[in-house]
Structure 1
Amino acid sequence: MPQKSTTKRLTLDKDEPSLLFAINDLLSTGGIDFDEWWKEFSKPPNNKLERESWTKPKFIDITPKEKSDIGRWIKYYPDKEDENTFHKLSGTDRDLVYHINAIGYQQSGSVENIPGKNSKPPLKGFPLLELHFISPEKKKGVKSIRCTGFTDDDLIAKTFKLVQPVTPADIKRWAQKIKTIFGDTKYVWKKGKECVSYTGLAARLQGLEGYAYVQNKQDGINLFTALLKIFDYAPDKDGFNISESTSTTKYTKQTKEITVAGQKVTPDERRPIADCEFDHAVLKLPLLNKPIPLVKRNVILYK
């Protein structure tokens, strides 16, 4: 086959620049409009239970001007109020959507990303224990832990021998543990300004990786230790880290009314400081459409 001349350059007819633009746009975005996707992603969930533990995200575009033709670079904050926790992401719009979803799955204990070097074990499909705390002033807090090694999907249990199907006996045992550790002791989560995180491979394998706002480091360690006791786990002492917010307004109680859509409202506290006592716990199974009530205060609801 004769070779094409290398001296003749490719050119576009006068009506073809729009095609070149479309190709470049497709390469830089991956075929997804990130800004349109973000509008939907950053909306609060409709489900009331999901809304209680939801945090509003934000991102900052840090794409260098000289590199605007290769995609976008952003700083992504899963919680816009937590300025200390962010991820630097780059790539096409499609890449950014993928990475943000992967981070969300990872934080909630539902990772669905492709395993790779140093990747963390996926937790999707494991049951989720969700514990709710409330203060006398109705300030709320929610902490969760995954039941690693269990699944509600019989096919997965039969295919992968590392997990076993959830049984009523398992649920009763978890409910009893929660009653003993949190209900009988009237456990109090003292929410404060310091952020204690529990992370690492051990935390991941135990089904508990995240952070909590507390009054001091020991309160945070005590909270994570109590959660791990549900499964008779001991915490990894090297898995704890602590940070403190420098914000002067984040924890201020809102007393001034503002006008929203023509109505007077008093905004909720952005990060309430309160002593939240254990109130109730539920079990969430991926294949069920609603949570299973387990414990209310010191009363076991699951029979």
Structure 2
Amino acid sequence: MISKLPEKRLTLDRDEPSLLFAVNELLQTGGFDFDEWWKEFVKPSLDPKTKKPLPNWTKPKFTDRTPKTEKNIGRWIRYYPDKNDETTFYDLSGTDRDLVHHITALTYQQASEDSAKSGKNSKPQLEGFPLIELYFYSSDRKKGIKRIRCAGYTDNPKIANLKLAQSVTPADIKRWASKIKTIFGDTKYVWKKGKECLSYSGQIARLQGLEGYAYVQDPADGIALFTALLKIFDSTPDPDGFNKSGTTSTTKYKKPTKEVTVAGEKIIPDEKRPIVDVEFERAVLKLPLLKKPILLVKKNVVIYK
């Protein structure tokens, strides 16, 4: 006699532990408790020597603006860097881990902005974050360099202790090296340099550590280049952050062919914006406290072990 199979049950009984709730909680938080982190973050920063609050400390605050729905994934908050200044705020969203990353990046940005001796309307500095440099070369050794900051990471123990950024670990470096090998090395990535100038800028670009520009033959090539760089950190570019600029002159960036005399020697000046394909060759990591760069990848081989 064939026994009847029990009916499949796709829901959990009320008295059973809610696996669905646990999964939903993991999606919302990213495995990180924002509220616990916030309790520590809002404590005044202390001078490591005197143990007294730093004089420029301003207490932040946030308001939770997450829609009250059962299917909600993530949180929406309005973050105020200074709780007494209602005019300066940022609308942030994502998992708990995402929110922590956004706030630490904003804090790092503000610290750099306050300390930078810059002119009117200058953009916040990205100095202080670890820096990855990627080198590209043509067959005749013309060079291209692209840089991206490791936003949200630091090699400075003081900054890490204040929870303004995560300490860079060997595991982080290995992960970045592996990503670069896959994205640039294995594909023999080619940057098509040209006379067009495509820039990537704005608040999101700065928070991603990738505000800058590239000379390209076509804007689509530039977008692809910035997209590839951001893949190192599993991020994507802001579509509204791209701008194209150029010139109406037909001679401004023309390849020089006439010799000029410099200090008694005849030379042909280098082309300002050559049309040339440069292929990925290597990538290095520069840490502010380390005196020499760390070689991460050479062609399609991970060097950092």
TM-score, reference length from structure 2: 0.59
User: Counterpart amino acid of 2:273?
Assistant: R
Structure 1 residues 267, 165: closer, same or farther in 2, change over 3 A? same
Structure 1 residues 250, 234: closer, same or farther in 2, change over 3 A? same
Q: Is this contact kept in 1: 2:113–2:124, CA < 8 A?
A: no
Structure 2 residue runs of 5 or longer lacking an equivalent are 1-108
TM-superposition CA deviations, 1:192-225 (whole Å, max 9, x none): 1211111111111111001111111111110100
TM-superposition CA deviations, 1:171-211 (whole Å, max 9, x none): 11111111100010011110112111111111111110011
TM-superposition CA deviations, 1:47-101 (whole Å, max 9, x none): xxxxxxxxxxxxxxxxxxxxxxxxxxxxxxxxxxxxxxxxxxxxxxxxxxxxxxx
Instruction: Report SS of the residue matched to 1:204.
Output: helix
Tell me which residue corresponds to 1:267.
269
Shift of 1:123: 2.7
The alignment covers a number of residue pairs equal to 194
Tell me which residue corresponds to 1:124.
127
Tell me which residue corresponds to 1:4.
none
Residue in structure 1 matching 2:116, options 113, 117, 120:
113
Answer yes or no: is 1:149 the counterpart of 2:173: no
Instruction: Report SS of the residue matched to 2:292.
Output: coil
Write the distance in 2 (CA, Å) between the matches of 1:182 and 1:111. Answer: 36
User: Counterpart amino acid of 2:260?
Assistant: I
Write the distance in 1 (CA, Å) between the matches of 2:166 and 2:248. Answer: 45
Shift of 1:111: 8.3
Tell me which residue corresponds to 1:279.
281
Q: Is this contact kept in 2: 1:192–1:274, CA < 8 A?
A: yes
Write the distance in 1 (CA, Å) between the matches of 2:114 and 2:285. Answer: 19
Answer yes or no: is 1:137 the counterpart of 2:140: yes
Written as runs of structure 1 = structure 2, the 5 A alignment for 1:76-91 is none
Q: Is this contact kept in 2: 1:250–1:271, CA < 8 A?
A: no
Structure 1 residues 247, 296: closer, same or farther in 2, change over 3 A? farther
Residue in structure 2 matching 1:204, options 203, 206, 219:
206
Written as runs of structure 1 = structure 2, the 5 A alignment for 1:1-303 is 112-113=115-116, 122-159=125-162, 161-303=163-305
TM-score, reference length from structure 1: 0.59
TM-superposition CA deviations, 1:131-160 (whole Å, max 9, x none): 11111121111110000111111111112x
Tell me which residue corresponds to 1:54.
none
Sequence identity percentage? 70
Root mean square deviation of aligned Cα: 2.5
Q: Is this contact kept in 2: 1:110–1:124, CA < 8 A?
A: no
Tell me which residue corresponds to 2:34.
none
Structure 1 residues 301, 152: closer, same or farther in 2, change over 3 A? same
Structure 1 residues 162, 121: closer, same or farther in 2, change over 3 A? farther
Write the distance in 1 (CA, Å) between the matches of 2:264 and 2:117. Answer: 48
Runs of 4+ aligned structure 1 residues displaced above 6 Å come to none
TM-superposition CA deviations, 1:119-139 (whole Å, max 9, x none): 865532110000111111211
Structure 1 residue runs of 5 or longer lacking an equivalent are 1-105
Shift of 1:283: 0.6
Q: Is this contact kept in 2: 1:190–1:215, CA < 8 A?
A: yes
Shift of 1:263: 1.7
User: Counterpart amino acid of 2:160?
Assistant: A
Write the distance in 2 (CA, Å) between the matches of 1:299 and 1:239. Answer: 32
Write the distance in 1 (CA, Å) between the matches of 2:188 and 2:176. Answer: 17
